[in-house]
Amino acid sequence: MGRTVPTYRLHLESILNDWMDYRRALREKDREAFDRILSKARQHASAASYTAHMDPTVLAILSILLETEKEIQGAKDIHMHMNTQDEMARNIAVADDVYEMLSKEKRDGESFSDVIRRLARRRRSILEFAGAWADIPDEEFREMEAAWAWANQPLEEALRRGRKRVEGP
Q: What pLDDT score does 143 carry?
A: 92
Q: Residue 88 has what pLDDT? A: 62
Which pLDDT score is estimated for 166?
Answer: 57
The rounded average pLDDT for each run of 10 residues, N- to C-terminus, in the chain (169 residues) is 74 88 91 89 85 84 88 72 58 83 88 84 72 84 90 84 64
pLDDT of 1: 56
> What are the CA-CA distances from residue 70 to residues 59, 65, 66, 94 (Å)?
17, 9, 6, 18
Rg (CA), the chain: 33
pLDDT value at position 87?
A: 61
Q: Is the pTM of this model over 0.75?
A: no
pLDDT value of position 79: 60
